[in-house]
Chain A
Amino acid sequence: MIIWQTPAGLALALFMLGLLGLLARRSLVFVLMSIEIMLNAAGLLFITAGMRWGNPDGQIMLVMVLNLAGAELALGLILILRLRNRITNLDGDAANILRDVP
C-alpha cells in the first residue's frame, strides 16, 4: 500500500509551482502553462484522494479535469494569438485594457 502523503505533497508542490509561475511570469504562454500545472496538481490530488478512500470518483474527476484543461488550453491559445495581433508581444501586464479608467 502506497502511502497517500507522498502524492499529496507532490500535488501541493506542483500547485505552488504553478501559482508561483502564474504570479511571477509576464509572458502569457507561461501563465497558461502555469495554469495547466495547477490543474494537473488538482487532478493528482483527486486521484490521491480516490486512492486514499478507495473511491473511483477521484479518477472520474481527473478525466473531467483533463477535459477541462484541454478545452481551456485551446481557448487560451486562441486568445493569446488574438491578443498578439493587438499588442504585438505576449506581455500579460500590457493587456490591461479591462481596467476601470477613472
Chain B
Amino acid sequence: MRRHLRVDWRAGLSLVGTILAFLSLAFVVPIIVSLAYGGEDLWVFVASMGLAIAAGLSLRQLDPDPDPGAREAFMVVALTWLFAAIFGAVPYVLAGNGTIAHPVNALFESMSGFTTTGATVMADISFETHSREMMMWRQLTQWLGGMGIIVLAVAILSQMAVGGAQLMEAETPGPGVSKLTPHIAETARVLWLAYIGFTALLIALLYGLYLVGYAPNMDLYNAFAHGFTTLPTGGFSPEARSIEAFSPAVQWLLVPFMFIAGVNFVLWWHLISGNPWALVRDNEFRFYLGAVSVLTLVGTVMLFLDTALQTPETGQIGGNLERSARYAAFQIASLTNSTGYANMDFDAWSGPAKGLLLFAMFLGGSTGSTGGGIKILRWMVILKSLRREIFTTIHPEAVRPVRMNGGSLDEDAIRGIYAFTLLYLAIFLLGILLLAADAARVGMDLGTIDVVTASIATLGNIGPGFGVVGPMGGYLEFPVTSKLLMILYMWIGRLEIFPVLVLLTAAYWRS
C-alpha cells in the first residue's frame, strides 16, 4: 500500500458498506413476489440478500466511526453505485438462467438497471426463461437508481446528515442541488416522497385501465413493473416488445408520466406544496416543455407524411393522425429524457425521422430529474452564452451576465458547464471509436449509426439506439470488452463523469 494517501479510504469504504447493507433490504421485494408466485427463485434472493448484508457489514468494520470529508464524497458515491451494480447482479448469476447468467452480462444488466439506462443483454425476455421475481428485480433496480441511491440513503440514514449535501451533489443529475429545507435529510425525503407519489399514481392508473378493460394485459404485476421503470426514466419492461405489447390507452398514459420524470423533482415538490408558479416560471421547465412539444409536432408530421411507414404489429401509420401522433409523442418523450421505452420498432422510421430521434437523445432531462444525458439546463446556458459571445463581439465593453430564472449565473459555473459538455461529447466520440474497433476485432458487423447510438445510448443512460441496438434488439452481440466499456459508460454517465473521473487521477489520492 502506498503511503501518504490523502484520502480516508477506510472511512469512505465504511460508509459505502453502510449504504450497501441498507440497500440490500430492497431484496425483500423480489422475495415477496417470489412467495406470491411459487418461490422458484426464493433461495436466490435470500442468498443475495445475505451476501450483500455480510459484505456491507464487513466493509463497515474498516472504520467503526467514519467521518468522510468533501474529498471522500466522490469515492463514496462512485463506489456505492459500482457496488450496488455488482451486488444487484448476484441474483442473475445465482439463478443461472439465460444469457444473463454470464457474470459480465449480469453486471451489464444490473448496471443498466441501477443507472436507469434500460439497455439489455437478455436474449429471451419472457417468463419461460426467467422467473417473475427475477424480472421484477430487474424493474426494481431501475426504480432504486432513479431518484438516486445516495439520496435515498441520506433520506433514511441519520448517519449521513452531515456531509449528505456533498454526496447528493455528486450524485444528482445536473449542476448543483438546491436545499429545499435546512436539513438535507428532509430535502432528500421530499424528493423521494414526490417520486414515490408519482410512481404510486401511475401504478394505480395503469391498473385502473386494466380494471375498466382498456388494457387487457396490464395486470397488477405489469402495472408495478412499468410503474417502477417510468418515473426513473428507466425503460426496462418484462415484455419483449416493450410498450408495443400494450393498448394505445396505456401508451398515451405513459407519455405524460415520462414527461414528468424528465422535470426537476424540486419543481414537482413546489407544485404539490401549493406553489405552482415555481414550476410555471422555471426557465428550464419551459424550455423542456417547448422542446418536447416542437419535436413531437415535427415527428408527428414526419410520420404522417411517410406513407410507406407500417409494420406488422402497428399497421399503417402514415396518413393515420392518431397513430402518427401517438408514436411520435411516445418516442420523443421516451428518448429526450432517456427513458428508452419503445411503443414500436422505431428503427423502421424514415432517415429524417430517425435523425430527429437522435437529436432528441442529446437533449437529456432537466436538472434534478431522473433523466440522463447532457441536460436541458446545460444546453440553455450554452445557447445563452453563445448569444452573449456574439453580442460582445460587436460591443467589446458590454458586461452581460447569463441569466437564468431571473438570477445571473456565475462565470465559473458557465465554464464548468462548457467543460462538462465538451468532455461528455469527447467521451461519446471516443466510445464510437472504441466500440467500432472492438467490433472489427471480433468481426462483428456493425453499421455506423449502430455504433453512434450504442455510444450515446449507454453514456446518456437511454437504452435503445438504432440498428442492432434498436428497441427490439439488444447489446448481447457485443464482445465482452465492449460490454465492459459500456458498463463503464453507464456508470460515469449516471454520475455525470466527474465523480468517477477524479478517482482516476493521481492528484485525488495524493495531493
A binds B: no
